[in-house]
Amino acid sequence: MVRDTRTKAVELLIMRQVLHELGGISRRTFYRWRELRLAPACIRLPNGELRVRRDVLNDWLEERAEGAAS
């Protein structure tokens, strides 16, 4: 857990968790979405690994829900 400036806990998901939450898509598909700027915003750590904030993933999924307001 990381704490933001408002001291609220922020959950950072590892790529395996993100792929699982997206229905088990492949890593290659996710990285293709990133190339096309279709994936949720990621945080690149100094070691090169990616993380996705839980709230960002949830918002991204909500925006793509069928019947969502445009």
Q: Is the pLDDT higher at 46 or at 5? A: 46
Q: Is the pLDDT higher at 68 or at 27? A: 27
Q: Are 9 and 44 in contact (CB under 8 A)?
A: no
pLDDT at 30 over 80: yes
For residue 67, the 8-state DSSP code is: T
pLDDT of residue 47: 97
pLDDT of residue 9: 80
pLDDT at 68 over 70: no
